[in-house]
Amino acid sequence: MMNNFRTRLTLIMIGIIGLSVLASGLIMANMFKSKHIQGLESSMVREISIIASGMKWAPPGENMSEQFDYYTRLADDLNRDTGARTTFIRPDGLVLGDSYHDPRTMDNHLQRKEVQQALSEGTGRTIRLSDTMNTNMLYVAKTVQVGQDNYVIRLAMSLASVDQSIRDLWTALIVWLLVLFLVGALVSFRVAQGMTRPLEQITAVAKRIQRMDYRARVTVVKNDEIGELGSAINAMADSLQEQMERIRRNESQLESVLDNMINGIVMIDRTGRIVLISRRAEEILGFSSKELVGRHYTDARQQHELTQLIREAFEKQSYIHDEMTFYYPEERLLELNIVPVMQDQDEFTGVLLVLQDVSAIRRLERMRSEFVANVSHELKTPVAAVKGFAETLLSGAVKDEETSRSFLQIIYDESERLNRLIGDILELSKIESRRVPLLFSPVEMGTFAAKTLQLLEAEAARKAIELKLVADGDIYVEADEDRLRQIIMNLLANGISYTPDGGKVTLIVEPVWPASYSHTAQLDDEARDDYDRIRIIIKDTGIGIPKKDLPRIFERFYRVDKARSRSSGGTGLGLSIVKHLVELHNGTIAVDSEVGVGTTFVIELPVIHP
């Protein structure tokens, strides 16, 4: 396009040069011709005057034939001397003599233009193509007074030489014209190029800006209009770049706000097309924004009730709040807020869907109320027993010493149980609310495990249960000693409780090396000390736990067999406390069990607590 412009500009300039050279050539040729002819003319007029004054006119009375011969001879002589064709003409137009023709054969010349002019003005002239010589001839005629009559002498000269000179002039002119043309073309091409090159550069920059490359700048430094255009484009690019940066900044701010919001956000425009989905909303809905953005909300393969609710919000253009259980990608209870978006007060531009996963909150609420119900229930049983036996005693049983002794024993046991229950509940709530910080110190596991086991020896002996310890010396762990003892005691006590007489409970302590260490390779002494965790295993040969109960045994008050737990004096809180304490040590606990064979609890604790 730019090339077209350049070509056009070049052609126009060449055209102007060509035309002016042509015009000056024409003017020059014309001037040359008319000056030449004028000069010839005046010299011919002078020649006629000289001829007229030097010649002798034949007496009019003489016979015509002689007159013709006389003038013809004269004309021939003059033609020889001057090189001009000479013609003598009588006032009535009769040709008396001529250098080229016999006057007897010639027509009357009265009507010839130069003759007419000479008769009226004294001299006359004309240029015309001569029939005989086929060249342009200049005819000049002058009247000469002979007596009373005006005779006419006419001279004619060929203009062939003049024409030839003009032709030579034109040849020279054309050669010059060509040279000028070439030079002009070259010069104008350069000039046009000089004008269009900055324009081309500016165009290229404008195109880059159009392709959103806002770093593009014009480098033309000129003080003319093109330079101004360049600076204007640069200023435009500056401001575009700045604006784009601001927009990008705002966008990324908004994006990070959206990405870090706990609530999921979905924006739907006026036409019902989804225009934005925050990262959290992607997680909650189980779809990526790539799948959903740009689609109509009814095509989004969402739960029917949600689609319904959005439709309602569109119809009413008002705020809608609801709670809904979702089953995809996982079961969740979602709180939904659908807010109509208004622009300029009253123009409806779509809706904003705010999703909040309230499953955890609701679960917690449910757990809390269940816990309260459980606690009340658990407390009620011993309290009812205490109350019942005390009443029986009061209503007379106290008099029978044996009965009252056994009743008082029950009352004592039940209140003891109540005490333990309240103690466990308080303990659990303290641990859960993390009111007591852990006091970490290095614990040497060999000695520690042996001492803990000792505390339960009497209990085990009563049931003839063998207590066994398998622990290497020199295994250290950073832990809160009291809490760690509580964990192990709880599990050992359970092991003893749920194992029939004559069984066996084993406590194993072992180091765990990082996964990068090969287990089969012999560890050298140095590497042996590189264990990063320890494993504590409590294994019994007891009644076991059915598979279906395994996932629930760490829940508060959960017991596999209520009656059995009660008779063993359990509260149903032991394993929950253990799990919490293990987690406070950043450890993990797992259980494996087979009914009638035994149960194994495996705890892993990190050695170091940063």
Report whether 294 contacts 273 (CB < 8 A).
Answer: yes
Examine residue 559 and tell whether it contacts ligand ADP (CB under 6 A): yes
- Amino acid identity of residue 411, one-letter, is I
Rule CB under 6 A: say whether 572 interacts with ligand ADP. yes
Report the nearest approach of ligand ADP to the CB of residue 371 (Å).
Answer: 14
Q: What is the CA radius of gyration of the chain?
A: 65
Nearer to ligand ADP, 9 or 550 (CB): 550
Name the segment binding ligand ADP (CB under 6 A); options: 170-178, 263-271, 428-436, 551-559: 551-559
Two tokens at 2? 């730019």
Residues between 530 and 549 with contacts to ligand ADP, criterion CB under 6 A: 540, 542-545
Comparing every residue's Cβ against ligand ADP, the nearest one is 570
The residue range among 98-106, 113-121, 452-460, 558-566 that interacts with ligand ADP, by the rule CB under 6 A, is: 558-566
Q: Residue 375, exposed/middle/buried by CB under 10 A (0-12, 13-18, 19+)?
A: middle
Sign of CA dihedral 300, 301, 302, 307: positive
Q: Amino acid identity of 41?
A: E
Look up residue 273 and give its DSSP letter. Answer: B
Closest CA to 79 of 97, 95, 64: 97
Interface with ligand ADP, residue 237, by CB under 6 A:
no
Is 600 near ligand ADP (CB under 6 A)?
A: no
Q: How far is CA 98 from the centre of its chain?
A: 101
The CA distance from 538 to 600, in Å, is 6
Select from 114, 113, 90, 116 the least CA-distant residue to 103: 90
CB of 360 to ligand ADP, least distance (A): 23
Q: Please say which residue, 294 or 500, places its beta carbon nearer to ligand ADP.
A: 500
Tokens at 71, concatenated = 């003038």
CA dist 567 to 312, 414, 490, 498, 562, Å? 59, 11, 17, 11, 9
With CB under 6 A as the contact rule, the residue among 570, 579, 585, 603 that binds ligand ADP is 570
Tell whether residue 495 is a contact of ligand ADP (CB under 6 A).
yes
- Cβ distance to ligand ADP smaller for residue 44 or 560: 560
Q: In the structure encoding, which two tokens stand for residue 551, read together?
A: 């996932």
Q: Is 574 in the site for ligand ADP (CB under 6 A)?
A: yes
Given candidates 561, 584, 588, 602, which one binds ligand ADP under the rule CB under 6 A?
561
- Would you report the helix, strand and coil content of the chain in percent, each value rounded to 5? 55, 20, 25
Segment interacting with ligand ADP (CB under 6 A) among 139-147, 195-203, 272-280, 560-568: 560-568
Between 335 and 561, name the residue whose CB sits nearer to ligand ADP: 561
Q: Which of 274, 536, 553, 605 binds ligand ADP (CB under 6 A)?
A: 553
Q: Does 599 bind ligand ADP (CB under 6 A)?
A: yes
494 interacts with ligand ADP by CB under 6 A = yes
CB 411, min distance to ligand ADP, A: 21
**Of 278 and 571, CB closest to ligand ADP:** 571
Does 498 engage in binding with ligand ADP (CB under 6 A)? yes
- What DSSP designation does 557 have? T
Q: How many residues bind ligand ADP (CB under 6 A)?
A: 21
Q: Is 565 near ligand ADP (CB under 6 A)? A: yes
DSSP-H helix ranges across 60-159: 64-82, 113-121
Backbone CA torsion sign across 387, 389, 393, 396: positive
Interface residues toward ligand ADP, by CB under 6 A: 494-495, 498, 540, 542-545, 553, 558-561, 565, 570-575, 599
